[in-house]
Amino acid sequence: MIAKDTLIQLVKACQRGEEKAQAAFYEHYKRRMMGICRRYARTTFEAEDIFQEAFIKVFLKIGTVQDPGAIDFWVKSLMTRTAIDHYRKNSPYWLVEDADKPGVLPDESDPFDVLGFLEQQEIIQVISALPDGYRMVVNLYLIDGYEHHEIAELLGISAGTSKSQLSRAKAHLRKILQESGLTTENAHEKG
């Protein structure tokens, strides 16, 4: 982990185009940012594509960063937006506007409760099995902490559709977890 002051200096050196600084910057962020890309992608190959595209954007746009102290948020936001753009560009029907069809869940346990007992790799695997639109909303809401109105703005949908996608994602996750034999009861035994 790089100290805050050192990171600020590193950002300024990247803004000047210093190659050693860019290499150090890349090394500092590559694992965390690849993790973000893997959460949004269906496959490792797709995650690598998103990651590469996002890092190109990072170095092309780093000169616009006015507050180097906020670089963590800026890089994470750029990675997330690049992943979203990837699906907009490559899958025109990745998200279905279905706000008029509320996704009602049966009164069963919340599948997100089970995720807390899984290893990181297992969580990524379960989330990557979701359809694109569901996966985007789950990542943005559950993991990245966006509110539904913010997700709506990012994805160009209504807040109602975001809520519906999350509800449907829960039902889909519940099915995936049940098919793999993971329930709240046996997840407690695992954790």
- Tokens read off for 191: 């954790």
What span, in angstroms and rounded, lies between the C-alpha atoms of 8 and 2? 10
Q: Same domain for 85 and 142?
A: no
Flag whether 165 is in a domain. yes
Flag whether 95 is in a domain. no
Give mean pLDDT, residues 151-161: 91
Query: 180 pLDDT exceeds 90?
Result: no
Q: Same domain for 8 and 86?
A: yes
- Tokens read off for 2: 């790089």
pLDDT digits (tens, 9 = 90+) for 19-75: 999 999 999 999 999 999 998 888 899 999 999 999 999 999 999 999 999 999 999
Flag whether 82 is in a domain. yes
Domain carrying residue 159: 111-190
Residue 7 phi, psi (nearest 5) = -65, -40
Q: Same domain for 169 and 135?
A: yes
Q: Same domain for 81 and 12?
A: yes
**In which residue are the tokens 């993790």 written?**
35
pLDDT digits (tens, 9 = 90+) for 96-147: 444 344 443 343 556 566 555 666 677 778 788 888 889 999 999 988 889 9
* Single pTM value for the model: 0.70
Check residue 34 and give its pLDDT.
94
Check residue 109 and give its pLDDT.
54
The full length of the chain comes to 191
Flag whether 179 is in a domain. yes
Domain end (from 90, 122, 154): 90
Total count of domains within the chain: 2
Average pLDDT of the residues of the chain: 82
Domain end (from 46, 61, 90): 90
**In which residue are the tokens 């099915």 written?**
175
Ramachandran bin of 156, using left for φ above 0, alpha for ψ from -120 to 50, beta for the remaining angles: left
What span, in angstroms and rounded, lies between the C-alpha atoms of 29 and 157? 30
